[in-house]
Amino acid sequence: MNFAVKRGPVPNIHIASTEADMQSALIRELRRILDPKRQNVEPSDVLVMAPGREDVCALTSACDKAGILWHTPVSKDRDQPLFQQGRVTVSTIKSAKGFTAPVCHVAYVHNLADRRDLEAQQQARAELHVACTRATIFLDLWGTPCDLMSEADLAAQDLRSRS
């Protein structure tokens, strides 16, 4: 994996047994990092990405329930800013291409691993690469057990052992 910061923090890999567990753990993490008494992260510094629009809808619904203010850029209106003050940005990976954020969460990674033929698998890996390189400081990957999550976990372990 290549990351925007050469010697930054090692990515965090969160493998959950179910999508519901993954989503609730991600929301807990967002609440933790956005708590002004505990961390120094502004909502506009956070980008949450997912492969598909239905994944984005699930994440925005979970943010609503948790009271986390969010913003989803409309891909048809590229004049609209990707980030908005006081709001977490929730986007598809493709919509976030070309942008960076200090804190990035990539959710539903397992949905990229569902691709069957070789060309689709290569496209999924390229999409994950794009997502990983949006982070300038912190990167967290979220998903259920799959080959891509296992590989990411091994890569993160390798990076930790080299530190």
pLDDT digits (tens, 9 = 90+) for 99-142: 899 999 999 999 998 777 888 889 999 999 999 999 999 999 99
Give the range of the structural domain holding residue 23, as residue numbers without chain letter.
Answer: 12-162
Mean pLDDT, range 37-47, rounded to an integer: 90
Neighbours of 49 (CB within 10 A): 31
Beta bridge partners of 48: 90, 105
Domains in the chain: how many in total?
1
CA distance 135 to 100: 6
Evaluate whether 102 touches 33 at the Cβ level (below 8 Å): no
7 part of a folded domain: no
4 part of a folded domain: no
2 part of a folded domain: no
16 part of a folded domain: yes
* CATH number of the domain within which 111 lies: 3.40.50.300
Evaluate whether 83 touches 100 at the Cβ level (below 8 Å): no
Report the range of poorest mean pLDDT among 39-53, 68-82, 136-150.
68-82
- Sheet bearing 88-92, strands edge to edge: 12-15, 135-143, 101-106, 46-50, 88-92, 70-71
- The whole model's pTM is what? 0.90
Q: Which residue has 């990707």 as its token pair?
A: 82
46 part of a folded domain: yes
